[in-house]
């Protein structure tokens, strides 16, 4: 199984890579006259090829495509539009297999637990599908059912992806994503444990309980297992369905603002955050209220690490290069020669330039600067040590940036983020002064 899947994925990766590389090489010979047109055609071909392969192979390839489809801020429309259907419209598994899985996990017939169970899923994604149901006591619920055999596919895909990324790092020295691969090995298996997901859901619900504008579903523990998760059924509008938001009279700019505030609270205040806010996992109700779903991927920061993230954010917002360098060191970043310039460049490219220029999200010009300047800085003085915990934060930043682009975000990042950083740093500074 693993060998066949490896050949299929490697072939898709190789053909996509060869398509872009050939345009790059041909443009050096023939000039740039039709380069943009060639790239647009290749974008469409590559995205369609990847979509077909993901639907056929499923497993980790779908998860990778879901992440790609969130990056409307970075990637061409052809990629985003083609792959966005994989957020919640993956071809579903037959109901017979789902029924057998639920009955095996709960140890009793479906009718002994549910008064109703819709055989057609509400959503189907990379690892599981969700069905609407009604418990015997009348409560409406969403039943998330893990696909039979998916654990073996995920393990095989992770090993195959590691091989492919090593090959890409050898071919293109500026695209070494192996550190991301290590994170995938760490976190994706957690998404296969629905008891862990239930814990995450309840923790975030407690942390955000004071916010009437955020809805987190209740978990029905007595009907949940490691592979079946039963929770409150909550309805809403998909956050990227801008037309539906408009029809419902919901201000998309208010949604973008609220989304940023809620994630600032999770990352900077709580140190525990939903790490997978792709469009299939965030809905909107009138108000607007945000509905957060799917807590398989969440992250808990140790207090010292959260403080480091806060200090880094504050230093970037205030353009304090010494503070940026000190915060990166506290977090565990290291460069080859020990000097901080590469880290300062990274901070500016990730957030600093966006704030100073008053941009709500990374626009085309900033993305071009990121693509040009970061590889240059890394060649001069590479980052040789990156703390694993930071990678999920940057992933969330990327997902939020993509959602912001779709919502035409007008968020003032400085005004939104600074109060959270100040509230946490001022008490810490006061405590330090008292100790002196």
Active site residues: 276
Which tokens hold the place of 271? 């140190």
Beta strands in 65-160 (DSSP E): 114-117, 123-124, 128-135, 140-146
Given phi > 0 = left and psi -120 to 50 = alpha, else beta, which region is 13? alpha
Q: In the sheet where 282-285 sits, what is the strand order?
A: 214-215, 289-292, 282-285, 237-238
Angle formed by the axes of helices 2-30 and 35-57, nearest 10°:
180
Number of Cβ atoms within 10 Å of the Cβ of 122: 16
Beta-carbon contacts of residue 199 (< 8 Å; ≥ 6 apart)? none
Burial class (CB within 10 angstroms; exposed 0-12, middle 13-18, buried 19+) of 41: middle
All residues at 6 or more sequence positions from 426 whose CB lies less than 8 Å from its CB, including other chains: none
Contact 88, 52 (CB under 8 A): no
Taking the mean position of all CA atoms in its chain, how far away is CA 50? 19
Cα 409 from chain centre: 18
Beta-ladder partners of 228: 145
**What contacts 394, CB < 8 A, 6 or more positions away?**
350
Specify whether the CB–CB gap between 93 and 129 falls below 8 A: yes
Buried b (16+ CB within 10 A) or exposed e, 395-413: bbbbbbbbbbbbbebebeb
- List, in order, residues 6 or more apart from 275 with CB less than 8 Å away: 187, 297, 298, 299, 392, 395, 396
CA-to-CA distance for 215 and 263, rounded, in angstroms?
14
> Rounded CA gap, 18 and 415, in Å?
44
Output DSSP code: residue 222: G
Which ranges of 192-351 would DSSP assign to H, the alpha helix?
194-207, 242-247, 252-264, 303-317, 321-331, 341-347
């Amino acid at each position: 199984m693993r060998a066949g899947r490896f050949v299929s994925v490697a072939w898709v990766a190789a053909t996509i890579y060869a398509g872009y590389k050939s345009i790059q090489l041909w443009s050096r010979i023939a000039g740039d006259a039709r380069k943009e047109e060639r790239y647009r055609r290749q974008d469409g071909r590559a995205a369609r090829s990847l979509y077909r392969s993901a639907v056929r192979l499923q497993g980790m390839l779908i998860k990778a495509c879901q992440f790609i489809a969130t990056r409307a801020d970075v990637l061409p429309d052809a990629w985003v539009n083609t792959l966005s259907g994989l957020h919640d419209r993956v071809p579903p598994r037959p109901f017979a297999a789902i029924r057998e899985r639920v009955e095996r996990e709960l140890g009793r017939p479906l009718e002994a637990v549910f008064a109703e169970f819709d055989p057609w899923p509400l959503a189907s994604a990379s690892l599981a599908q969700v069905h609407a149901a009604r418990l015997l006591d009348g409560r409406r619920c969403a039943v998330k059912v893990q696909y039979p055999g998916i654990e073996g596919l995920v393990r095989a895909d992770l090993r195959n992806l590691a091989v492919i990324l090593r090959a890409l790092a050898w071919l293109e020295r500026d695209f070494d994503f192996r550190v991301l691969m290590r994170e995938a090995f760490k976190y994706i298996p957690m998404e296969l444990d629905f008891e862990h997901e239930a814990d995450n859901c309840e923790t975030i619900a407690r942390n955000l309980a004071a916010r009437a504008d955020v809805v987190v579903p209740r978990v029905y523990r007595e009907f949940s297992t490691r592979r079946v998760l039963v929770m409150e059924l909550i309805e809403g509008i998909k956050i990227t369905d801008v037309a539906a938001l408009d029809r419902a009279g919901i201000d998309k700019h208010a949604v973008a603002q609220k989304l940023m505030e809620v994630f600032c609270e999770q990352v900077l205040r709580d140190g525990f955050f939903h790490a997978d806010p792709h469009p299939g996992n965030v809905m909107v109700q009138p108000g607007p209220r945000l509905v957060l779903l799917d807590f398989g991927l969440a992250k808990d920061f140790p207090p010292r690490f959260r403080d480091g993230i806060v200090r880094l954010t504050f230093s970037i917002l205030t353009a304090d290069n010494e503070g940026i360098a000190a915060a990166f060191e506290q977090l565990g970043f290291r460069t080859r020669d020990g000097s901080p310039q590469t880290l300062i460049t990274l901070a500016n490219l990730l957030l600093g330039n966006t704030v100073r220029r008053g941009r709500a999200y990374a626009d085309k010009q900033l993305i071009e600067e990121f693509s040009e300047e970061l590889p240059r800085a890394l060649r001069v003085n590479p980052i040789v040590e990156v703390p694993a915990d930071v990678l999920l934060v940057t992933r969330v930043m990327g997902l939020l940036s993509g959602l912001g682009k779709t919502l035409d975000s007008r968020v003032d990042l400085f005004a939104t983020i600074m109060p959270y950083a100040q509230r946490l740093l001022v008490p810490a500074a006061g405590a330090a002064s008292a100790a002196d």
